[in-house]
Amino acid sequence: MFEKILIANRGEIAVRVICACKDLGIRTVAIYSEADRHSLHTRFADEAICVGPAKSSRSYLDIHAVMSAAEITNCDAVHPGYGFLSENAGFAEVCETSRLKFIGPPAEVIRRMGLKQIARAAMEENGVPILPGSLGILKSPEEAVEIAERIGYPVMLKASAGGGGRGMRVVRQPEEMGPLMAQAQAEAAAAFSSGDLYMEKLVENPRHIEFQVLADQHGDVEILGERECSIQRRHQKLIEESPSTAMTPELRQCTADRLRAAMKAVGYANAGTVEFLMDASGKLYFIEVNARIQVEHPVTEMVTGVDLVKSQILIAGGKRLDEILTRPVVLRGHAIECRINAEHPETFVPSPGTITGLNLPGGAGIRVDTAAYQDGVISPYYDSLVAKLIAYGSDRAEAIARMQRALGMFVVEGIYTSIPLHQRILKHADFVSGKIDTGFLSRHGFLADKK
């Protein structure tokens, strides 16, 4: 097992990884930018190295600086956390050649899973449903209509050469195809010098469902159930839960079986998440693989009893899944996570600053993952996550009740937080009855800016 691990991250996930290392008796090295000099993660690591100025590109994202820090402290492994360098195949490769064990999938797997076409093909070959689309560039409106009939309306026309909303049109009926294709082509040609379009099924107000993967370095893969992350604003998740109220045991089993096969086929190792959209009829469509540990991993930990970060370290150290998990992996109870952000709960304006008063909730079924502390500073340079508040109950109702209690006892003074927003969401009848999808916040008027 490793003797010393460098945590190439900051904030709550750095603290999380330090916790797992402490549990395993492994020494830790924290890295920090000048802005994070007084950060909590630097205080609980055995050693801490300043790697650069506040700007991420010159500190947490600076591969040279991170590698040098690992070198001068004689680390034998590095945990990349999430974000930053966690899905940077180049970084994983540099670690491999420097004989510093990267705690995650092999560099080549990270690279391939990051390529949309390769990931989709791997899924499709193993029976995992993917978002239907045209196989290539649309040659004519007639062909487009044919494909749309096959896929099912509504469909989205997209510019092959670009994105950002330009050259995109939603088509709901065959009669619209001709004129809308022409418009999209013209727009695309103007923006990207190419009018080439392709087509994808449009899932409106989908539910966001993702499956947790844990694989060892010996070819064994396990799926640890699903999470639902439909409460989002601008594609940023606000509330996550496990299990999903929209999941049936059959769909869970069937999807898990196919994902197991797909991930084995791509040679996956360590932790990962496979993301899906679910349409109104309950059908799943694969969108992408995230080859790293995710922010919302605690809800899976609560319902499965598996310590995912500790498992990552053990897997990277060569342990087999059978030594880490008891199988079959069963989901027990219900867990919900609220991402408490430093922002105004109604206007969403960021609220960096000093935390002048802090009371973290506790009690039955409550877990808080945070790097915040009284007199600590939420700086403007990084994400606005103050804490992850996780509530666990024997069922969803108990989890919701516990979460409400904890939100009410979570005191943060000196900055605005999203706590009042979470309280309002959790009270909403549709949330309580599980009638949620990615349009929830907008539909129910939580977004003052209507985005």
Q: Do 340 and 421 form a contact (C-beta atoms < 8 A)?
A: no
Name the residue among 128, 299, 159 with its Cα closest to residue 225.
299
Q: Which is nearer to another protein, 132 or 353 (CB)?
A: 353
CB of 14 to another protein, least distance (A): 14
CB of 95 to another protein, least distance (A): 12
Q: Which class for 436: exposed (0-12), middle (13-18), buried (19 or more C-beta within 10 A)?
A: buried
Residues that bind another protein (CB under 8 A): 34, 38, 43-53, 59, 64-65, 67-69, 71-73, 98, 373-375
Say how far apart CA 33 and CA 56 lie, in whole Å: 8
Structure tokens at 192: 């990207």
Say how far apart CA 283 and CA 209 lie, in whole Å: 11
Q: Do 273 and 294 form a contact (C-beta atoms < 8 A)?
A: yes
The gap from C-alpha 128 to its chain's centroid, in whole angstroms, comes to: 20
Say how far apart CA 154 and CA 172 lie, in whole Å: 4
Question: Which candidate in 233, 252, 292, 367 is catalytic?
Answer: 292
Q: Which is nearer to another protein, 70 or 287 (CB)?
A: 70
CB of 59 to another protein, least distance (A): 8
CB neighbours of 143 closer than 8 A, spacing ≥ 6?
Answer: none
Q: Which is nearer to another protein, 66 or 302 (CB)?
A: 66
CB of 49 to another protein, least distance (A): 5
In this structure, what is the dihedral angle of CA atoms 446, 430, 250, 151, given to the nearest 10 degrees? -60
CB of 99 to another protein, least distance (A): 12
Single-letter amino acid code for the residue at 27: R
Catalytic residue list contains 292: yes
Structure tokens at 304: 């499965």
- How is 138-186 classified by DSSP, letter by letter? ---HHHHHHHHHHH-SSEEEEETT--TTTT-EEE-SHHHHHHHHHHHHH
Say how far apart CA 164 and CA 14 lie, in whole Å: 32
Q: Which is nearer to another protein, 36 or 343 (CB)?
A: 36
- How is 91-145 classified by DSSP, letter by letter? HHHHHHHTT-EESSS-HHHHHHHTSHHHHHHHHHHTT--B--B-SS----HHHHH
For residues 347-385, one letter each, b for 16 or more C-beta atoms within 10 angstroms of the residue's C-beta and e for the rest, the string is ebebbeeebeebebbeeebbbbbbbbeeebbbbebbbbb
Q: Which is nearer to another protein, 62 or 279 (CB)?
A: 62
Q: Which is nearer to another protein, 99 or 235 (CB)?
A: 99
Q: Which is nearer to another protein, 43 or 443 (CB)?
A: 43
In order of 11, 182, 201, 219, the CA distances from 83 in angstroms are 12, 39, 29, 26
Q: Which is nearer to another protein, 31 or 403 (CB)?
A: 31
| Catalytic (active-site) positions | 292
